[in-house]
Amino acid sequence: MSNDYRKTPEALSRLTPTQYSVTQEDGTEPPFRNEYWNNHEPGIYVDVVSGQPLFSSTDKYDSGTGWPSFTKPIEPDAVETKKDWKLILPRTEVRSSGAGSHLGHVFPDGPRQAGGLRYCMNSASLRFVPASSLEDEGYGAYRHLFTTQNQEHAS
């Protein structure tokens, strides 16, 4: 798999209307009615547009908000943030660093023991790659996150 995580016309043409709305028009999907909010399988979440690795299930937790929530990105430079003034109070928007896809927002109310952040993401901006398929799909570099030793530390 290439590490060139850009937005291409071909990638955009494969998106569903909801995926396009969320990633390209800064939309938000409904809580509790999205694909990954209640997914508990081991694996990684990648940008639906570019395939860039973004988050790991080892950092996912149930925030009670109805959207997939993570304590941190899979790599520090996987995401970029900027202030979002669309509501009365400013929020911090999260975008993929490669394709610039809108992913969601980050809030300072996450688990304190894991750094205190809640990356609240839209399922429509993500594609889930099961741990059992990492090598086949070109993400073998992340297999170490799902070894028995790492799983014991995550519990």
Q: Is the four-CA dihedral 107, 68, 54, 105 of positive or negative sign?
A: negative
Pairing of strands 69-70, 118-121: antiparallel
pLDDT tens-digit series, residues 104-124: 999 999 999 999 999 999 999
Share of the chain above pLDDT 70, in %: 90
CATH superfamily of 9-130: Peptide methionine sulfoxide reductase. (2.170.150.20)
Q: Does the global pTM surpass 0.95?
A: no
Residue 38: strand pairing partners: none
The residues spanned by each domain of the chain are 9-130
Q: What is the pLDDT of residue 155?
A: 43
57-91: burial string, b at 16+ Cβ within 10 Å, e else: bbbbeebeebbbbbbbbbeeebbeeeeeeeeeeeb
pLDDT tens-digit series, residues 4-45: 798 999 999 999 999 999 999 999 999 999 999 999 999 999
State the catalytic residues.
120
Give me the amino acid identity at 60. Answer: K
Sheet architecture: strand order including 118-121:
60-61, 69-70, 118-121, 102-107, 91-96, 79-84
